Amino acid sequence: MATAVWRFSKKKKKGKIMVLETQRLILRRWEESDAQVLYKYASNPAVGPIAGWPVHTSVENSRDIIREVLSAPETYAVVLKETGEPVGSIGLMLGKASNIGIPDTEGEIGYWIGVPYWGMGLIPEAVREILRYGFEELNLEKIWCGYFDGNEKSKRVQEKCGFRYHHTAENVPCALEGVWRTEHITCLSKEEWQNKPLPNGGYKSDFNGSKAEPSIS
């Protein structure tokens, strides 16, 4: 299971604050003092709406989102080690915190990253660490993910991290007022995660996307 990325992965506890680490990233709690930089990336309309949430309208709006949304348990700022700047977010919603109807032994991952950092493999790197954390430290049995119809970039992230297509949900409400979407749900069991890592920290690409038959019960 050890890979270049995972060898660098570790967890530290500082009081109640959990910090996860990968080769290029620190995953830590959002702080209100991140509002300015959050606004810089989350005010870009290419980021929120495709993921189902509205663009941030001001630094104050971003601060409110940090207080009300990004303060949820197991929600992390994706911080570049090189600069110390938060450039994205990743969260693991456990049990009822997820809206796909899963038990407490399972979780759902959500993520985004600022446009200047697209295509560098940073979110797959963060997802792999959250998978390790979820399976090894929280002892989860399954971890779910999903993407709205047409979000090919997010589909690729899930493919590269080993998720397999599970089912498609129609008319899914999202945080955009009055908007309902088609969502493709993917899943990775602990057993699959344990058995399928490749030397580069990725997984065999083996799901065909929205039209594939569900392969995990």
119 SS3 class: coil
- Please count the residues of this chain forming the interface with ligand COA, following the rule CB under 6 A: 20
- Contact present, 183 and 169 (Cβ < 8 Å): yes
Q: How far is CA 47 from CA 39, 96, 141, 162, 214, in A?
A: 11, 26, 30, 23, 29
> Smallest distance from the beta carbon of 160 to ligand COA, in angstroms?
6
Residue 25: partners with Cβ closer than 8 Å, 6 or more residues away: 78, 79, 80, 81, 122, 125, 126, 129
Token digits of residue 37: 């930089």
Member of 11, 40, 156, 196 binding ligand COA (CB under 6 A): 156
Residue 123 is a binding residue for ligand COA (CB under 6 A): yes
- Shortest distance (Å) from residue 16 CB to ligand COA: 28
Among 1, 72, 120, 198, binds ligand COA (CB under 6 A): 120
186 binds ligand COA (CB under 6 A): no
Query: 26, 122, 140, 188: which one contacts ligand COA (CB under 6 A)?
Result: 122
Near ligand COA by CB under 6 A: residue from 30, 39, 76, 112: 112
Q: Does 107 participate in binding ligand COA (rule CB under 6 A)?
A: no
AA identity, residue 20: L
* Neighbour tally for 143: CB within 10 Å: 28
Query: Closest residue to ligand COA, Cβ-based?
Result: 119
Query: Which parts of this chain interact with ligand COA (CB under 6 A)?
Result: 47, 50-51, 111-113, 118-124, 147, 151, 153-154, 156-157, 160
